[in-house]
Amino acid sequence: DAKRFPQGRIATVAGLVLVRQRPGTASGIVFITLEDETGIANLIVRPGVFERDRKAARHSQMIVARGKIERQGQVVHVMATSIHEAPRAGESLRVRSRDFH
């Protein structure tokens, strides 16, 4: 909903990493899909952010990301400016993300 998630608003999202994708045609951009009890969040991670926050962005099973909301019609993405491992995450999780590189 555009009122709850307006273009340009800064947001923090967290969740279980479902998928990481780094298409060869995306100029180094990584797409990460998160899920929590409320639904799905789509992250767009530029190469500089990915490299700076590489450990969490590449390996963590649950992450917290902060960034700017971008809307394309009904599709909402978060352009990540930072990514961190979720506090106390990963110790008891048995779910693995599906990573495509």
Q: Which of 23-27, 28-32, 44-48 has the lowest mean pLDDT?
A: 23-27
For residue 29, which of 90, 70, 73 has the smallest C-alpha distance? 70
DSSP symbol at 45: E
Q: Which of 53-62, 79-88, 92-101 has the lowest mean pLDDT?
A: 92-101
Q: What are the pLDDT digits (tens) for 64-89? A: 999 999 988 878 899 999 999 988 75
CB-based burial, 8-37: b 16+ in 10 Å, e otherwise: eeeeebbbbbeebebeeeeeebbbbbbeee
Q: What pTM value is reported for the model?
A: 0.81
Decide: 98 and 19 in contact? Cβ < 8 Å: yes
Decide: 70 and 7 in contact? Cβ < 8 Å: yes
